[in-house]
Amino acid sequence: MYIVTRAAAMAIIVFARFLTAVRGIWQGSEPVPRQRIYFANHASHGDFILIWTVLPPRLRGKTRPVAGSDYWLKTPLRRFIGCGVFGAVLIDRDRESRREDPIEIMARALDAGSSLIVFPEGTRNETDAPLLPFKSGIYHLARTRPEVELVPVWIENLNRVMPKGEFVPVPLICTVTFGAAMRLGAEEGKEAFLGRARGALMALSSKLTEANG
Amino acid sequence: MSLMHAHLFMLLLAVAAFLVAASVAGYILERRLSPDGSNAVIENLNARIKAWWAMVVLMAIAFIGGRAGVILLFAFCSFAALREFVTLTNARRADHWALAAAFFLVLPVQYYLVWVDWYGLYSILIPVYAFLLMPIISALRGDTDHYLIRVAEVQWALMICVFCVSHVPALLSLQIPGYEGRNVLLVAFLVVVVQLSDVLQYVWGKLLGRRKIAPLLSPSKTVEGFVGGVASATAVGAGLWWMTPFTIIQAGLLALAIALMGFFGGLVMSAIKRDRGVKDWGHLIAGHGGFIDRLDSVIFSAPIFFHLVRYWWSLT
């Protein structure tokens, strides 16, 4: 089984590179083996695949995406890719039906030594706005495990590769930019922290626009 | 060993000797002037030389692979170039299917037609059929914002990255009496002349360059680099007559045409980069930038060289 999931992971990474020639840009942090919560903009189902692709293999093995169980448990194929290949930390986004607090699930994954990839917008951004308001989960997670650093990650162009409703991707060059790590301040409140985190992510996007004109 | 293989071997040997000399020079420069990697020009030079080695090895493998190898190599170059070009365009949601068709229909069909040598169709597939098909697909979505610009960009992307580049492997199907089975050497002649012209323009420009030719487009292009590069590439092209169906004079004149088109191709592609505010088309070839950065001069010279040779030398 291990060989099958490794092969599937490699195939997905090769395919992602074929489509996007994706490149990781480390701007303010380095790809070092330190426990982290990577938080990124979310426009496509392929978002965490791109982050995964540009992480060095040593870090990749210890980095798990946090994803909605409603989507990733729907079919056997999704379950295989989500859980088997990417080791996704699945959370139930529906407050009514869930039996366990998502923050506890994520904290447990952190305690087991994993780094996490989270999408604080909570859902895929299908609007024209560059970034939706953040849900508060990332704040609660940061308060539960304040020693883990948070790294903003801006994914550029993937939404153009496969816009919502299309099923044939168009090959375009994508970049994944990692910003400077941040931590929750001792006295920092929820709104202030979420605003700061969202600002850090937005700053990476505007830097990109400047660099590319 | 056939005559073709003997000539190919001699050419590769010469290129390898040239690269060994460049690598040694780069190593000495690094030891002398940039031991801590702080001199950007020398670092870039050495990155370029390393990438040249990789490109030459890839080309050599493709040449040894013959027709299939060369067609596959340039089909991949077209794909990578198109990916870079489209990334910089204003393409919108409404163009999604037009772009998907460009990548997954027009590009493979163009190279298939080159493979089966259907000249009558591959010479008009993009200028005629894609030219009319793409705007239809985009129009069906009903988005008229910047419509003309978007349609023109997709068409340019296909002309530049697929149509022009595919004329390199198309050289394989020219039928030149007395030159049967050696057409791969025509590809080698074109590639060597155009790339050497680029390198020599760079070298002459660094050595003697004073007057800038088009300061707004490309600050590194100088009159001295242009004249020296084109003249020496013409001389090298003439000196390569033995592997072509041309006389020395003819080889020199064709090399001159190739070098001139290559120079102006580089200028045009610089203008597009300036317009889009980027320095390089991509990042995949260390020291060079993207595929289009390396291909720009081939893009403009390939169709011209193809048609010159086809008109005067080929039976078809």
Kindly state the DSSP code that residue B230 receives in the 8-state scheme: H
Task: Give the residue, A129 or B262, on which the prediction is more confident.
Answer: B262
The stretch A16-41 carries a mean pLDDT of: 93
Instruction: Give me the half-sphere count of Cα atoms (radius 13 Å) on the Cβ side of residue B153.
Output: 22
Residue whose tokens read 């910003």: A179
Question: What values do phi and psi take at A77, rounded to 5?
Answer: -65, -45
Looking at residue B148, what is its pLDDT?
Answer: 93
* A171 interaction partners in chain B (CB closer than 8 Å): 79, 82-83, 86, 103
SS3 assignment for B199-223: HHHHHHHHHHCCCECCCCCCCCCEH
Q: pLDDT tens track of chain B, all 316 residues?
A: 688 888 989 999 999 999 999 999 999 988 888 788 778 888 888 888 998 999 999 999 998 888 999 999 999 999 999 999 999 998 888 889 999 999 999 999 999 999 999 999 999 999 999 999 999 998 998 888 899 999 999 999 999 999 999 999 999 999 999 998 899 999 999 999 999 999 999 889 988 878 888 888 888 889 999 999 999 999 999 999 999 999 999 999 999 999 999 999 999 999 999 888 888 888 888 778 889 988 999 999 999 999 999 999 988 7
Kindly state whether A173 is in contact with chain B, defined as any CB-CB distance less than 8 angstroms. Answer: yes
Q: Which of A107, A183, A186 is nearest to A152 (CA)?
A: A183
Rounded to a whole number, what is the distance in Å from the CA of A90 to chain B's nearest CA? 31
Summarised one tens digit per residue, pLDDT across range B15-38 is 999 999 999 999 998 888 878 877
Query: How many A-B residue pairs are in contact by the CB < 8 A criterion?
Result: 40
Output the CA torsion sign for A132, A134, A137, A142. positive
Task: Find the angle CA(A88)-CA(A91)-CA(A96) to the nearest 5 degrees.
Answer: 165
Looking at residue A211, what is its pLDDT?
Answer: 47
Residues 6+ apart with CB under 8 A from B125: B106, B109, B110, B113, B163
* A23 interaction partners in chain B (CB closer than 8 Å): 283
Kindly state whether B282 is in contact with chain A, defined as any CB-CB distance less than 8 angstroms. Answer: yes
CA distance B131 to B227: 37
CB contact under 8 A, B82 and A171: yes
At A115 the three-state DSSP class reads strand
Kindly state whether A168 is in contact with chain B, defined as any CB-CB distance less than 8 angstroms. Answer: yes
